Amino acid sequence: MTLWWWLLLSCVLAYAWKLVGYLVPASLLRNPRTSRVAGTMTIGLLASLTVVNAVASGQSLALDARLGALAAAAVALLFRAPFLVVVLAGAGAAAGLRLLGWG
Amino acid sequence: MKLSQSPAFRVGLSISIATGLYGVSFGALSVASGLDFWQTMALSLLLFSGGSQFAFIGVIAGGGSGLAAMGAATLLGMRNGIYGMQLNALLQPRGWRRFAAAHVTIDESTATSTGQTDPAEQQRGFWTAGIGVFVLWNAFTAVGALAGAALGDPKQWGLDGAAVAAFLGLLWPRLKGREPVAIAVVCALATVLAVPLVPSGVPILVAALVAAVIGWFSHGRRDEGLEPDVDPYAAEHDAGRRAARTAEEAG
């Protein structure tokens, strides 16, 4: 299956989640565990995506300029920088470290 | 009331601009991950949920399969179902509006609406933020995708570092307190351990499973992790925290 099909299927499923909240009786979804799982999974997925993009290189782990990006982003976030500045700090750190010959 | 005098309308507009602007980073990173212009636009127009969109391209950028990308994006979209349930009770949209409301049910529109107490303001906040973010997010995704395609080698510009920063930026507002930090650390460790053992993309699903098990068996805040990427009421929340601190120091 090509990427297009997975992409469009993802769009359908994303809309299905949203619509479920409006169409399914609230009593079915009011289980506190449902919102707990939705919340903890959001944290877990974002933490995992951060790590994968920082240190994974295919099926191995690599320590390179992306670690500098992670540190720069953390510093920007500590100083309450807006999202776009955080992203630019990450890009700048990775590009800068590569200019210096690391990773 | 004039629309320009409505607090929810103003908050909705400012959150639309703040969120819409970072569509630039999504567009550029999406093209750098290997998607083409129209695949990038399809994600912003049809999937329309920042976290899930970044998850999809994050898995693809790491060499993961389309199936793993879909899995990560879909699991991350579950919280929109919870938002839909809250908003349905709050706004009670009828007919076609219900289907339109579902499409613009995201972190920002939910937070803008639920931050108001007056029902009319809740309506204005939801629709202003929902439609505003949708329009600007898509416009800036297009700008980012065109710019990204013109950049050439994404690594030279540090775009892989930008992706790392984007995910940390999405995670950050949800790390309030010890419990969410512990969940994030455990899931990060599970990911590192899984990377050499399973195909690319799958470690993210392993972490999702770990997080789901923690959520299922532990008791904590019911809305843990359900904070918006950008807090529409940040100024008021800051003021509230300052007031609490002053009271604490005085007492």
> In whole angstroms, how far apart are CA B124 and each of B8, B105, B206?
6, 14, 39
Tokens representing residue A53 in the block:
């993009």
Could you read off the pLDDT of B200-245 as tens digits, one per residue? 889 999 999 999 999 999 877 767 777 777 677 776 776 666 666 6
User: What's the pLDDT at B249?
Assistant: 62
Q: B22, B31, B168, B178: which to substitute to probe chain A, counting the most A Cβ within 10 Å?
A: B168
User: What's the pLDDT at B70?
Assistant: 96
Q: Over 60: is that where the pLDDT of B178 sits?
A: yes
Mean pLDDT calculated for residue range A62-74: 96
Contacts with A82 from chain B: Cβ below 8 Å: 18
Q: Over 60: is that where the pLDDT of B65 sits?
A: yes
Contacts with A34 from chain B: Cβ below 8 Å: 82
Q: Is residue B247 part of a domain?
A: no
| pLDDT band with cut points at 50, 70 and 90 for residue A54 | very high
CB B18 within 8 A of CB A85: no
User: What's the pLDDT at A32?
Assistant: 79
Q: Do A98 and B190 touch (CB under 8 A)?
A: no
| Closest CB to A44 among B52, B158, B211 | B211
Q: Which residue has the tokens 């629709």?
A: B127
Q: Quick one: B213 exposed, middle or buried, by C-beta within 10 A (0-12, 13-18, 19+)?
A: middle
Q: Do A70 and B75 touch (CB under 8 A)?
A: no
User: What's the pLDDT at A7?
Assistant: 97
Dihedral (CA of A5, A8, B208, B168) sign:
positive
Q: Is residue B171 part of a domain?
A: yes
ipTM, interface predicted TM-score of the complex: 0.92
Give the domain extent around B201: 3-240
User: What's the pLDDT at B1?
Assistant: 64
Could you read off the pLDDT of B69-106 as tens digits, one per residue? 999 999 999 889 989 988 998 899 999 999 999 999 99
Q: Do B215 and A50 touch (CB under 8 A)?
A: no
Could you read off the pLDDT of B8-30 as tens digits, one per residue? 898 899 889 988 888 999 999 99
CA dihedral B96, B97, B102, B105 (to 10 degrees): 160
C-alpha B40/C-alpha A7 separation (Å) is 10
Q: Is residue B129 part of a domain?
A: yes
Could you read off the pLDDT of A5-52 as tens digits, one per residue? 999 999 999 999 999 989 987 676 667 788 888 889 899 999 999 999
Residue B72: closest CA among chain A residues belongs to which residue?
A: A45
Minimum distance, in Å, between the CA of residue B207 and any CA atom of chain A: 6
Q: Quick one: B103 exposed, middle or buried, by C-beta within 10 A (0-12, 13-18, 19+)?
A: middle
User: What's the pLDDT at B240?
Assistant: 66
Where exactly are the structural domains of chain A?
1-28, 31-62, 63-103
| Closest CB to A48 among B89, B207, B212 | B207
Q: Is residue B251 part of a domain?
A: no
C-alpha B147/C-alpha B115 separation (Å) is 35
Secondary structure in 3-state letters for chain A = CCHHHHHHHHHHHHHHHHHHHHHCCHHHHCCHHHHHHHHHHHHHHHHHHHHHHHHEECCEECCCHHHHHHHHHHHHHHCCCCHHHHHHHHHHHHHHHHHCCCC
CA dihedral A79, A80, A84, A88 (to 10 degrees): 10
Q: Do A90 and B74 touch (CB under 8 A)?
A: no
